[in-house]
Amino acid sequence: MPFSSFGLYFSQKKPPVQNVDEFLLYPLLYPFFLEIGAGVSPYN
């Protein structure tokens, strides 16, 4: 899966509040994947 797909997925992904561990990681991963997605994705 290319990075653009990761960026597109995470930019549209809503915080999974039902999973505490994933919810805690989400704010850390979101800007990282969003930046990658915006950098290489043709959908920005």
Q: What is the pLDDT of residues 1-44, one digit of tens each?
A: 455 566 666 656 665 555 556 656 667 777 777 776 666 655 54
The reported pLDDT for the residue numbered 1 is: 44
d(CA 21, CA 7): 20
The per-residue pLDDT for 33 is: 72
Would you state the pLDDT for residue 30?
Answer: 74
Has residue 31 been placed in a domain? yes
pLDDT of amino acid 15: 55
Statement: the pTM of the whole predicted model exceeds 0.75: no
Domain of residue 35: give its range.
3-39
Q: Domain for residue 19, yes or no?
A: yes
Query: Quick check: is 44 in a domain?
Result: no
The structural domain count of the chain equals 1
